[in-house]
Amino acid sequence: MEALLGANLIKPFEGDVPTASAFEGKKAVGIYFSAHWCPPCRGFTPKLAEMYNDGLREAGLEIVFVSSDKDQDSFNGYLAEMPWLAVPFEKRDIKEELSKKFKVQGIPTFIIVDPADGSLINKDGRSAVMEDPKGTNLPWKPPTFAEALGSSFLKGTDTVGAEAVAGKHIGLYFSAHWCPPCRAFTPELAKWYKGVKAELGDKFEIVFCSADKDEAAMKSYYAEHVAAGGDWLAQQWADKGSLEKVFEVGGYPTFIIVSPEGKVVNANGRSLVPDAKAADFPFTPPAIGNMESPDLINEMPSMCLMLEHCDAATQERILAAVTPMAEAEAAKDEPEIVFYVAKSEGSVSSQIRGMCKLPTGGQIQKAESEPEGEFAMVRTLSGETPALILMDIPDNGGYYVSKMSKEMDGSNVEKMIADWKAKTLERQQLP
């Protein structure tokens, strides 16, 4: 916890509290990302304080405020309304590391960690605390994949048991009758499923996870799935919503491919329809994704290979060199970085070049002075030269640009990543 939060925390009207002793006897620690200027935060903070004083503290929860306030005075005034601990305002480096580690996209955010080692227990602490304001079920460990999936399913008008999904890769289809994009996508998915299922048999199944507002609507919509050829399984109404929390589903339709153990294989299963074939099973996305569909670029540091105007031989050489390290990274339980390539001009690649002030095809920009350093930004070469851009949007819109070289290979990428991890690269700021 000291490595996570620093050696000392502060408490209103009391002063410094050693982190090493701050959580003795506690079952869980809530890290509360918030700010005085944020209206939703100011709505949630008094509710959280009331619950903390009326049962959560006694049940074994401690809370640490991590401020996004703009100055020390705002921080001090806001902290005075809180009955818990806080990371000192001047420790901006700790705040940034926490936001990055836990992928905080907005405030208020309330996450639950283990006081023994700082490991994440629950990303959705706001829901947990609102559902259990007395802390009866602390530390609010979320259900396992198997628990959230359920032990029985609908199969048409019949009910089947857990054996219907045992050992299979599963496509989790989050959808709802009231959602127009869902109703447009469902027939396409049904047609695709019918084709791959005929070849894959018991290796693969789809489970419909309803976001409908009542059970009757869910069953009516499921009947439409079956009639369209999507005679897959449906999660029982009693289990509704459990998998959405596990996989942090933010919209509909969402189609996620998972392994039999529930590990995400492909977070963007919609991209498989209609072109993926049974031969592509288990539908793992390529280690180096298409720049025009950068699904994780807002959530994870992303190595962008800008090869739009390279000839085919150069693209092939660079991708052959980089693919092994991209595959090794993707195989990790918790990858630190994702890879994308732009092989031709597109809206996303052009936008990224523009944001990072790099030339597009055919443009030449003259630098006022020659920058130094192997990974200094170079603007004197045309857009026909390959470039490496490491986008770190979770780090408040940071990015890094390598020295562009027609001889770019895997070693360039490997060194850039190593220097980024060592924090020796020059950080640029997105506008």
pLDDT band at 141 (very low <50, low <70, confident <90, very high): very high
Q: In sequence order, what DSSP letters do the residues of 271-337 get, joined into one string?
A: GGTTT--GGGTT-PPPSEEETT--TTTTTS-EEEEE-TTS-HHHHHHHHHHHHHHHHHHHTSSS-S-
Residue 404 has pLDDT above 80, yes or no: no
Distance CA 379, CA 145 (A): 49
Residue with tokens 């009391």: 14
Q: Between these two residues, 54 and 331, which has the higher pLDDT value?
A: 54
| pLDDT confidence tier of residue 90, bands split at 50, 70 and 90 | very high
pLDDT category of residue 358 using cuts at 50, 70 and 90: confident
Q: Is residue 409 part of a domain?
A: yes
Residue 364: predicted pLDDT: 39
List the CATH number of the domain containing 96. Answer: 3.40.30.10
Domain boundary among 280, 302, 318: 280
Position 309 scores a pLDDT of: 83
pLDDT tens for 166-221 read 999 999 999 999 999 999 999 999 999 999 999 999 999 999 999 999 999 999 99
Q: Percentage of the chain surpassing pLDDT 70?
A: 93
Tokens representing residue 203 in the block = 């290796």
Q: Where are the beta strands (DSSP E) in 343-422?
A: 387-392, 398-401
Would you say 187 and 263 are in contact if contact means Cβ atoms under 8 Å apart? Answer: no
Whole-number Cα distances in Å, 279 to 254, 260, 268, 271: 23, 19, 18, 16
pLDDT band, residue 378 (cuts 50/70/90): very low
- Given the DSSP bridges, would you call strands 387-392 and 120-122 parallel, antiparallel or unpaired? unpaired
How many CB atoms are located within 10 Å of the residue 423 CB? 7
pLDDT at 407 over 80: no
Domain count along the chain = 3
CA within 13 Å, CB half, 186: 27
Shared domain check, 300 and 263 = no
363 pLDDT above the threshold of 80: no
Yes or no: say if 359 and 383 are a contact pair by the CB < 8 Å rule. Answer: yes
- Mark whether 264 and 310 lie in a shared domain: no
**Residues 341 and 420 reside in one and the same domain:** yes
Judgement on whether residues 273 and 192 belong to the same structural domain of the protein: yes
Chain segment 151-164, per-residue pLDDT in tens: 999 999 999 999 99
Give 227-230's long-range contacts (Cβ < 8 A, gap of 24+): 228/186, 228/187, 228/190, 228/191, 229/190, 229/191, 229/193, 229/194, 230/186, 230/189, 230/190, 230/193, 230/194, 230/206
* Residue 92 belongs to some domain of the structure: yes
Let me know if residue 140 belongs to a domain. Answer: no
CA–CA separation, 357 and 377 (whole Å): 9
**Domain range enclosing 341:** 288-429
Tell me the C-alpha distance between 303 and 292, whole Å.
14
Q: Write phi, then psi, for 288 (nearest 5 degrees).
A: -115, 110
Question: Are the CB atoms for 23 and 56 separated by under 8 Å?
Answer: no
